[in-house]
Amino acid sequence: MSFSERERILARLEALERRAEDGGGADKAAARRAEGRRTARDRLARLLDAGTFVEMDKLVVHQCTNFGMGDKRVPGDGVVTGFGRIDGRVVFVYAQDFTVFGGSLSAAHAHKITKVQDMALKVGAPIIGLNDSGGARIQEGVVSLGGYADIFLRNTLASGVIPQISAILGPCAGGAVYSPGITDFIVMAESGSHMFITGPEVIRAVTSTEVTKEELGGAAMHARRSGVAHFVAPDEDGALDAIRELLSYLPSNNDEDPPFVATQDPLDRADPELDDLVPTESNQPYDIRDAIVRIVDDGRMLEVHEQYAENIVCVLARMAGRPVGIVANQPAVLAGCLDIGASVKAARFVRFCDCFNLPVVTLVDTPGFLPGTDQELGGIIKHGAKLVYAYAEATVPKVTVICRKAYGGAYIVMSSRHMRGDLNLAWPTAEVAVMGPEGAVNIVFRKEIQSAEDPAAAREQAVASYRERFANPYTVAEVGFVDAVIRPRDTRRVITSALAMLSNKRDANPPRKHGNIPL
């Protein structure tokens, strides 16, 4: 082969690569950057370790000839796929390119995504999808819908096997939302990202309701009301950084342990301020996050669903260098009551931790399930049962600390000994009983109170008597339902010791195809 022939061959490859890298054209890329948004390739460069991205199917084009599409072929077909590394670990990625056919999904586009999905599952590596698409490519008709179905199937088969993370960095509408909906975590950028099944125009036409994209499917709505978004970042760069931080707590697959990070924070560090965290008055609120930051390594944690169902807190953190999931009732919101949102939020988090070998630490302070007709009509029985199911099913190490209130069914649900809790602890401020003293005396001492000369004084005495006898940690310690009553200052030392002891825990569920969680 002559030198000129070799040059001609290489020039053809370079031209095709440049065409693929140009996407919808330099003008469209420049327009996006002028709006403060990145192109698909820019996003991958920001997400992955520098120089590690290896692209796959860069030259793929669609095969559609309908509506003049045969003359509109762009190498890559609106999605950039491949693999790279984050903190040195292999991850698979796809990033939709809105500059090419609006990022719309064709058969070829879907095939590129399913190829990296299959490869990620085969090698046991996380997969990250950067979503920015106008939806199915209408010109391809039902073929594009079949492409979505192929993606959903792989999302489902990979669930619990490899971490799946979705970033919403633009529109994500119609059937496209179900792939992120199946994945483990959704990260949304506050500006320019939207998720909904049907857009404002369709809703206006069908129901005559006026609603904006932001109200219907913006990041704030999904973070606070629907609970669809697990993390919200102020911009695209923040969303990509959040993914990197999230992955730092997760194993590459369900057969691996989460990544260890050495810490200089002493494992036996005592924190005297914990002794005064719980107010003397049992009806006074406090922020459970103040407890969490004092017991985890270096006070660092990543909160999941921070703005949703704030009466329960779910965080990823490290203890003794090893990632853990922490679930904690939040007395500062709804007194820490469990409701529908909190039950679903915590149940899914516990199940995720169980899938990927993250021990679960539970901090308990709840007076029970939130009463009310809205809760009952909304199915609190079914949704509360999800939390029961999640804790009972989990086989990872489970350590529980009752900080204050643990009443009724909520005591059982929150990783009690009866839910196969491995080590159950209590602070001296713990109150464990069938119900709170104020409610219990109305049943147990009703006649005595009613017949007393001073019913108010009699009731006050009855409450004090009940609290002394039942609403304390020592009654449950007597029957072995808590393994130890500990000083709050020693919580970090005891938990880290317990997790070390449980590092080789062996537990299993009965053989079955799968359980039937109350959905």
Secondary element (H or E) of residue 237 = helix 236-247
174 is known as an active-site residue: yes
SS (H, E, C) 494-515: HHHHHHHHHHHCCCCCCCCCCC
| Active-site choice (175, 238, 321, 439) | 175
Q: State the Cα–Cα distance between residues 100 and 281, nearest whole angstrom.
A: 62
Indicate the SS3 state at residue 119. Answer: helix
Residue ranges of E strands in 87-230: 89-96, 127-131, 164-168, 171-173, 185-189, 194-196
Hey, which residues does 316 pair with through a beta bridge?
302, 325
d(CA 181, CA 228): 7
Q: How far apart are CA 166 and CA 152, in angstroms?
A: 13
Cα–Cα distance between 149 and 271 in angstroms, integer?
52
Neighbouring residues of 315: CB distance < 8 A, sequence distance ≥ 6? 292, 301, 302, 303, 304, 325, 326, 328
Beta partners for residue 432, in sequence order? 406
How far is C-alpha 35 from the chain's CA centre? 29
Cα-Cα end-to-end distance for the chain:
65
Which residue in 114, 40, 36 sits closest to 74, CA to CA? Answer: 40
> Of 160, 408, 409, 439, which residue is the catalytic one?
409
Contact of 196 with 269, CB cutoff 8 Å = no
Q: Which stretch of DSSP H or E encloses residue 363?
A: strand 360-366
Q: Which tokens is 486 given?
A: 């500990």
d(CA 277, CA 488): 9
Active site residue 409: yes
Distance of alpha carbon 195 from alpha carbon 169, whole angstroms: 10
Amino acid letter for position 199: G
Strand ranges for 337-422 from DSSP E: 360-366, 398-407
Distance CA 187, CA 303 (A): 13
Residue of 24, 129, 174, 218 marked active site: 174
Catalytic residue among 309, 347, 390, 410: 410
Q: Helix, strand, or coil here: 85?
A: strand
Residues assigned a catalytic role: 174-175, 409-410
